[in-house]
């Protein structure tokens, strides 16, 4: 099955308009198993989702290994993105030096079973290394054929412009969804002006924008959301009530909640390629109608009334989780 395509930057490949975030294969949102993860990847291939996103720190390589094992037994043509820059610790810190970037790329390529990746992100900026220097390092990796292009994550529009002047940036990955809208304050515009793909992560609000209300009491030990302000009381109850009204509205129109939420992102920018994450075939298949939804002006207005900018209670990260995120405006 094919899916609508979008270009990954000005010089990158055409990829599915909706990608697959593979962080959950490493257990960030609860336990999983190899068979379930492999089935999810098979479903992605079946439905034409050919842009997969991972990182060296998702399970300290587990997510990359799961993908590598799948691709070893498949002839699927997949555009891969992975990341570097976070050292989980403790203490958590960041490293954007050339030696570290090269060393971690070697490990990622080995786990993925590839000799290059199409997109290599700086996962978090290291304030000790100027972004221009990081761009030069990435430019060398491009020239050597080890990566197809480079990107940055959780950055400001100013950082994007600085980096792009040195070596063109292929993609920026920041959080963006109906409940996290900061990229509208300049980042989406900068991506469009520069021809950079905008890759929203957590486009389904870490599970809140699903078919059923999220049961936070079921969060297991190690689940990222247990320490997240939006998922703790009293914020959670407010957020659940607001999203319940949106859920009822879109389901009443015959759409799945996740498909409607992704369709909303797709129409915000022609450069947007959201990467919802899941470890479940069933959840993945709930997204598939997104590229076929076309909102009327009245529907857009109603969605904006139900979930206006800033409706969510609580910051999108805890204080500890915010370290390394560039905040602006």
Number of H helices, E strands in the chain: 11, 11
Cα-flanking dihedrals φ and ψ of residue 303, to 5°?
A: -60, -40
d(CA 158, CA 186): 9
Q: How far apart are CA 299 and CA 12, in angstroms?
A: 33
Residue 58 known to be catalytic: yes
Residue 217: closest CA among 207, 230, 203, 231: 231
Burial class of residue 36, CB neighbours in 10 A (0-12, 13-18, 19+): middle
Radius of gyration from C-alpha coordinates of the chain = 19
Burial of 1 (0-12, 13-18, 19+ CB in 10 A): exposed
Q: Do the bridges between strand 197-198 and strand 171-173 make them parallel or antiparallel, or are there none, so unpaired?
A: parallel
Q: How many residues does the chain have?
A: 329
Among residues 126, 78, 118, which one has the least CA distance to residue 101? 126
3-state class (DSSP) for residue 156: coil
Relative to beta strand 51-53, strand 93-94 is unpaired
Q: Which candidate in 58, 121, 176, 317 is catalytic?
A: 58
Could you give the CA distance from residue 118 to residue 12 in angstroms, rounded to a whole number? 8
> What are the catalytic residues?
58
């Amino acid at each position: 099955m094919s899916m609508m395509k979008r270009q990954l930057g000005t010089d990158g490949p055409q990829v599915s308009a909706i990608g697959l975030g593979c962080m959950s294969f490493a257990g960030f949102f609860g336990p999983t198993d190899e068979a379930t993860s492999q089935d999810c990847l098979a479903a992605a291939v079946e439905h034409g989702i050919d842009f997969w996103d991972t990182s060296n720190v998702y399970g300290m390589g587990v997510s990359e290994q799961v993908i590598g094992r799948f691709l070893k037994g498949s002839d699927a043509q997949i555009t891969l993105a992975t990341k570097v820059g976070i050292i989980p610790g403790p203490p958590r810190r960041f490293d954007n030096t050339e030696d570290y970037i090269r060393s971690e790329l070697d490990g990622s390529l080995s786990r993925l079973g590839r000799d290059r990746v199409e997109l290599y992100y700086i996962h978090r900026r290291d304030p000790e290394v100027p972004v221009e220097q990081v761009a030069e390092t990435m430019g060398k990796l491009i020239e050597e054929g080890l990566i197809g292009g480079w990107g940055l994550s959780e950055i400001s529009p100013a950082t994007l412009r600085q980096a792009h002047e040195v070596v063109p940036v292929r993609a920026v990955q920041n959080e963006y969804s109906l409940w996290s809208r900061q990229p509208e304050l300049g980042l989406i515009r900068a991506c469009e002006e520069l021809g950079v793909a905008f890759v929203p992560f957590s486009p389904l609000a870490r599970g809140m924008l699903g078919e059923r209300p999220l049961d936070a009491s079921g969060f297991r030990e190690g689940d990222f959301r247990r320490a997240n302000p939006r998922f703790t009381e009293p914020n959670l109850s407010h957020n659940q009530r607001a999203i319940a009204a949106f859920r009822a509205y879109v389901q009443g129109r015959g759409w799945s909640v996740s498909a409607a939420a992704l369709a909303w992102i797709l129409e915000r920018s022609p450069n947007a390629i959201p990467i919802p994450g899941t470890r479940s075939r069933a959840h993945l298949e709930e997204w598939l109608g997104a590229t076929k939804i076309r909102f009327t002006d009245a529907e857009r207005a109603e969605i904006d009334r139900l979930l206006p900018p800033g409706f969510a209670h609580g910051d999108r990260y805890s204080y500890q989780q915010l370290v390394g995120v560039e905040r602006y405006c």
